[in-house]
Structure 1
Amino acid sequence: MSDLDRVLVLAGGMSPEHEVSLRSGRRVAEALRGLDLEVQVADADGELLRRLQDDPPQVVFPVLHGSSGEDGAIREILDLTGIPYVGAGPQACRVTFAKPIASGLVADQGVRVPRGVALPKSAFHDLGAPAVLQRVVDQLGLPLFVKPAAGGSAFGATAVGSADALSSALVGCFAYSDTAIIEQRIDGAEVAVAVLDVGDGPVALPPVEIVPDGGVYDYEARYTAGRTEFFSPARLSDPVVAAVQQAAVTAHTALGLRDVSRTDVIVDADGQVWFLEANVAPGMTETSTLPIAVSAAGRDFAEVCRELAHRALLRGSR
């Protein structure tokens, strides 16, 4: 891989996940520098296009989380520059970032998804919130889970155990998105499955089981060391491990993703796998599940980052 020399890591952004993105970016940059690559770190700001024009890198490695980083916008800009980059293209990002659309596409491939509805804020205003909420509870039952239709890091996401708690959960959700997903809450083991494709097709890494100390995998539990216990490989039977890995590869393929992705699932008490969402720019922090899975697979995180960047370089040369 001697032809790969200069990489620009994009980190930061304007979403609520700004700090997480910076941590991911530093981790990737330090890993690549440890392999004697020249690495710069930049934000997606008003200086980015000038930087790319005046001093173009060979490859851009985006680790921008949340809106603009994962909704396809920055990938559109990178396509306009002609500089190759790690990860999915704009259309796949748009589809994946829109969780109701992504869930529908994955369900079409035979993967289970929780029953739910996606409702804009205007629906509650125009039709009357009490009537809408009562109808949702009547149809979906309890418990429920509320989350923004776009976004990550558990911002605006709330588990709901009673009808009375649903209204306040929606208020919190609408602070991050104009559309809320209300879905059946599936009880079981929460599992993250990373998928890599460095040239031989998408391959799922060992699944990571997530056990937060407070029972809820919220922002603090995700990014505070010691708040969550991770098991990789996950404490699942071999057939269930194979099923969650297959679900992740199916999601990666159905959504048109490339290079790297992460799929979040729940495994219920019967061993059934339920798709929750997919992520086009998985976290790379010290407490993120992708680096944990890489280690569980017996691979070196820095080498994986270099392989992903090299694959983007080859794609650009073609």
Structure 2
Amino acid sequence: MAGMSSRTPPKVAVLMGGPSAEREVSLSSGRECAAALREAGYQVVEIDAGADLVARLGDSAPDVVFNALHGRWGEDGCVQGILEWLRLPYTHSGVLASALAMDKARSKAVYAAAGIPVAESGIFCKAEIMARHVMAPPYVVKPNNEGSSVGIYIVPEGANAPPVIADDMPEHLMVEAYVPGRELTVTVMGERALCVTEILTDGWYDYHAKYAPGGSRHELPAHIPTEVTEACLAHAGTAHRVLGCRGVSRTDFRWDPAKGLAGLIALETNTQPGMTPTSLVPEQAAHLGISFPELCDWIVKDASCDR
């Protein structure tokens, strides 16, 4: 964050909203982060990231950009590339790590090469998926480059017919073997894996369960065997490193207790995880004594270009 004046508080532009399917989640994250940064002593300008983003950034002349965008454009390297071009230090992961983590197929290949366990999967065209079972049920169909469980289809064991995919879904989709078990997640902050949270729901951990009041419950630290806890922390740290992430990331897992440690599977790494005070990342930080304003302050101080 070179160039900041020591006489006045640094000015932070918080990017939120945007055009993705996760717009509302991003608006919530952005507003909460903006409030926390004001509490931490920063000057803050809130920007709903639209087609005029470059002009808005030019007008506000921030010292640093806090990226609170979720989903495509804000999480996949696009906005990161704009900020690199403008030479504005920004939070969270850079262009390559953002693009790589958002592409589920490519990030899973990186996981596998690093020894992180993943589920069997493939990329198939929509017409083929609807014409036949491209994988023995149970399996999951989902976009290759969306987050927040947007556009998820679960095909149960014994299903007679393949799924009917909505017209607005991409032409090519990921089909992944369904992994039974418990939902676990780990935040990495810099080089430190914080702890393991278990996400408890009454059904699938879909968009509603993630964001609707009462949609899910969080248990932290998760009540799981020590060897599974240690494996989750290690895999999350490895995922953060091999994808090239910076700042905070959150890696999600499924664990089948019937298989012991062999039942642990990494699902994906989120480079722009939810950032309301009750979101998973701030909850884990708070569990370790890091307040929400302190977390946001750390993220801003970690901001950079070219890293």
- Would you say same fold, with TM above 0.5? yes
- Counterpart amino acid of residue 48 in structure 2: D
Aligned pair in 2 of structure 1 residues 233, 78: CA closer, same or farther (>3 Å)?
A: same
1:154-180 alpha-carbon deviations (Å, 9 max, x no partner): 111122214335322xx04x6343321
Correspondence list, 1:166-185, <5 A: 166-168=162-164, 171-172=165-166, 175-185=168-178
Does the 8 A contact of 2:32 with 2:275 survive in 1?
Answer: yes
| Alpha-carbon separation, structure 1, partners of 2:301 and 2:286 | 20
1:219-257 alpha-carbon deviations (Å, 9 max, x no partner): 111111222111011111222111101111111111111
| Alpha-carbon separation, structure 2, partners of 1:298 and 1:160 | 41
Name stretches of at least 5 consecutive residues in structure 2 with no aligned partner. none
> How many residues are paired up?
298
| Alpha-carbon separation, structure 2, partners of 1:23 and 1:121 | 32
Q: Secondary structure at the match of 2:185?
A: strand
- Aligned with 2:154 (options 152, 159, 172): 159
Q: Which residue of 2 aligns with 1:7?
A: 12
- Counterpart amino acid of residue 175 in structure 2: I
Q: Which residue of 2 aligns with 1:235?
A: 223
Does the 8 A contact of 2:255 with 2:265 survive in 1?
Answer: yes
Aligned-residue sequence identity (percent) comes to 37
- Aligned with 2:286 (options 285, 295, 301): 295
| Alpha-carbon separation, structure 1, partners of 2:68 and 2:22 | 11
Name stretches of at least 5 consecutive residues in structure 1 with no aligned partner. none
- Counterpart amino acid of residue 177 in structure 2: Q
Q: Which residue of 2 aligns with 1:188?
A: 181
* Deviation for aligned residue 1:317: 11
* Deviation for aligned residue 1:2: 9.0
Instruction: Normalising by structure 2, report the TM-score.
Output: 0.91
- Aligned with 2:200 (options 203, 211, 215): 211
| Alpha-carbon separation, structure 2, partners of 1:153 and 1:317 | 27
Aligned pair in 2 of structure 1 residues 316, 251: CA closer, same or farther (>3 Å)?
A: closer
Correspondence list, 1:248-263, <5 A: 248-263=236-251
| Alpha-carbon separation, structure 2, partners of 1:77 and 1:152 | 21
| Alpha-carbon separation, structure 2, partners of 1:276 and 1:166 | 22
| Alpha-carbon separation, structure 2, partners of 1:164 and 1:16 | 31
Is 2:42 the counterpart of 1:37? Answer: yes
Does the 8 A contact of 1:222 with 1:288 survive in 2?
Answer: no
1:245-291 alpha-carbon deviations (Å, 9 max, x no partner): 11111111111111111111111211332111111100113542111
Instruction: Normalising by structure 1, report the TM-score.
Output: 0.88
- Aligned with 1:276 (options 242, 267, 280): 267
Aligned pair in 2 of structure 1 residues 316, 143: CA closer, same or farther (>3 Å)?
A: closer
Q: Which residue of 2 aligns with 1:25?
A: 30
Correspondence list, 1:59-70, <5 A: 59-70=64-75
Aligned pair in 2 of structure 1 residues 109, 56: CA closer, same or farther (>3 Å)?
A: same
